[in-house]
Amino acid sequence: RSSALAQAPRHWWGAPSSMGCNGSKPEPEPTTGASTSTDSSAPPAKPAADAGDRRSEVRNSTMAEFGPQPSVTEEDMAAEQAKIQAQQGRTRRAGVAAESVDKETIKDYKKPVYPKDEETMARLRKTLKENDKMQVLCGHLDGEPLNDVINAFYTKEVKAGEDIIRQGEEGDCLYIINDGSVDIFVARPGPDGKIADGDRGQKVVTFSGGALFGELALMYNSPRAATVVAASDKVLLWVLAAQDFKMLLAQSSQAQYAKYEGWLSEVELLKALNHFELSKLADILESEVYDAGEEIIKQGDPGSKFYLLEEGEAAAVIAGDDG
């Protein structure tokens, strides 16, 4: 693993506790912050739009979270794909909608830990790693930082017919279905741009065990794009609060910045830089992973990056006249 600086920039997991995301979370068990497993900012909220813009926003954000809906056109799909690609193109650390938080608050934040067995940790890790939109958010996390996120998931049980999230409400949690199924409903705003009270709209899809939904709450400061209702007799969920996710990401980034600044300060070429300048360089470092035998740079190729060895070993070989 190296850090590069570019010149241009089914019932899986055991019994849940009954707990709501919008209510108080269960108290995590006392912890020193260690993981229970040994396995190793989006743009600000938009100003109020007219009814037509609001309908377009609801339609597009719904597709991003729950897949194409029956009334979505090819133009809508192309526009949403462009939005996702633009999000992926940004620096990963800027991919989460986050409020301004001072460094001391981040430093003093206590990581929540809800104990899980090894199988649960592995299942949650696999779900996060295999979801495309979660890769935008936490694809750069591995080892302890990823375990911190997994440890922050807590359990919730919902009975048939209960709303898990409601369209138009502020999103504050991500959900993974442990057991059971949920129905997704989308209501279209009326001419005034509003959705009638109690109108769930049209059912568009059903999700079952292992499905992930609500991730837009971690990405954007925007209202829920659909209503999700428990379809089976009971639904068992794993829940991640958006605020915990943002704080864990900020804490991980803060530690990473400090480590990168320390490395950069030891580079002879950069010793003339002050702390502010080093912190700016640390902010644009990106981690890259190479397999054994894979070339990192090749003799004769134009150089566009320099590398700091973060983990592992690398060998430098120079080809001369004698080979």
- The binding site consists of 215, 224
Q: Are 203 and 68 in contact (CB under 8 A)?
A: no
Q: Which of 271, 238, 283, 222 is nearest to 90 (CA)?
A: 283
| DSSP 3-state of 172 | coil
d(CA 136, CA 297): 26
Number of CB atoms found within 10 A of residue 16's CB? 20
260, 261, 262, 265: CA torsion to nearest 10: 120
Do residues 153 and 238 lie in contact, with contact meaning Cβ atoms separated by under 8 Å?
yes
CA distances from 50 to 11, 39, 57, 140, 195 (A): 44, 49, 11, 37, 14
The sign of the torsion formed by the CA atoms of 42, 47, 52, 55 equals positive
**Rounded CA separation 242/252 (Å):** 15
Closest CA to 112 of 148, 76, 69, 66: 148
Strands of the sheet containing 163-165, edge to edge, are: 163-165, 227-230, 181-186, 202-208
| Side-by-side strand order, sheet with 2-6 | 286-288, 2-6, 305-309
How open is the CA angle 85-87-93, to the nearest 5 degrees? 140
Q: Binding site residues for 3',5'-cyclic AMP, as ranges?
A: 215, 224
Tokens of 63: 């597709």
Query: 3-state class of 306 per DSSP?
Result: strand
